[in-house]
């Protein structure tokens, strides 16, 4: 069985369509979505409509939650934009997404979540050091994972950085971000950037065979990122535009 893993679309419909076309060309058996679907100065409502029609196994990201629940200063620009753009049905779809989900894929128990199983806004495999995200110690990652029951494959997003770790018999995969290859989080005291270093749309394909994780392929797909950058600029978001064009936040 081949499982496509997408995450952190952030309203980038152009990147999503390119990834979906690539997934279709590879003939995978199932696609799962790890959240942060619509928040971004791009195409939130159109992205929500596309994902709702696909009806993929999907979990909630922190921005999905904030679009629905956050108020006042806690509501970031992109979350506020998405909330205003979505219709009632789309907001209800976001609100109903579970924080985590378990699947049986080819005889392999799989746990889906956005950041960690217990917190949709805590990095699983990264620490903030020197203004950047660096890979955490395996013991720290294990503590954030907590007990996973029978799961042998754990799928997460949130950091936008493709990562692979095998820890105590569990394969942990972050596919990277479909729609936002770089961002800056200015929140004190740990302001930091996440930068993948190219503008490509990212996802992963996990091959499951004989009840085991047999292979993981990280995929980078080209698309019209200049059009996405121009869309971000139309909302006054030069920071988003730079990240979309380059994969760097600074």
CA angle at 211 for the pair 208 and 214, rounded to the nearest 5°: 35
Q: What SS3 state is found at 4?
A: strand
Look at the block and give the residue holding tokens 């579970």. 98
Residue 143 lies in domain: 2-246
Q: On the CB side of 117, how many CA atoms lie within 13 Å of its CA? A: 19
How many structural domains are present in the chain?
1
Indicate the pTM of the whole model. Answer: 0.97
Q: What is the CATH number of the domain that holds 221?
A: 3.60.21.10
Residues 6+ apart with CB under 8 A from 229: 240, 241, 242, 244, 245
Distance CA 134, CA 125 (A): 8
Distance CA 240, CA 247 (A): 10
pLDDT tens digits for 128-180? 999 999 999 999 999 999 999 999 999 999 999 999 999 999 999 999 999 99
pLDDT tens digits for 90-125? 999 999 999 999 999 989 999 999 999 999 999 999
Distance CA 211, CA 185 (A): 39
């Amino acid at each position: 069985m081949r499982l496509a893993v997408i995450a952190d679309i952030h309203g980038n419909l152009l990147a999503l369509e390119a990834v979906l076309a690539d997934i279709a060309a590879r003939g995978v058996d199932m696609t799962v979505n790890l959240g942060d679907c619509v928040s971004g100065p791009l195409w939130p409502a159109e992205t929500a409509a596309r994902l709702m029609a696909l009806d993929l196994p999907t979990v909630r990201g922190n921005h999905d939650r904030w679009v629905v629940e956050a108020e006042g200063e806690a509501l970031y620009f992109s979350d506020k934009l998405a909330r205003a753009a979505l219709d009632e049905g789309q907001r209800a779809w976001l609100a109903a997404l579970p924080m985590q989900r378990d699947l049986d894929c080819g005889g392999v128990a799989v746990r889906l979540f956005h950041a960690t199983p217990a917190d949709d806004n805590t990095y699983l495999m990264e620490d903030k050091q020197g203004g950047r995200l660096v890979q955490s110690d395996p013991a720290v990652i294990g503590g954030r994972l907590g007990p996973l029951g029978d799961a042998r494959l754990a799928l997460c997003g949130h950091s936008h950085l493709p990562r692979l770790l095998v820890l105590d018999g569990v394969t942990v995969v972050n596919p990277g971000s479909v729609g936002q290859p770089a961002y800056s989080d200015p929140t004190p005291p740990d302001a930091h950037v996440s930068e993948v270093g190219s503008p490509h749309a990212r996802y992963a394909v996990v091959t499951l065979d004989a009840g085991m994780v047999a292979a993981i392929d990280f995929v980078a797909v080209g698309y019209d990122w200049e059009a996405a950058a121009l869309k971000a600029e139309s909302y006054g978001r030069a920071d988003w535009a730079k990240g979309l064009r380059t994969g760097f936040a600074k």
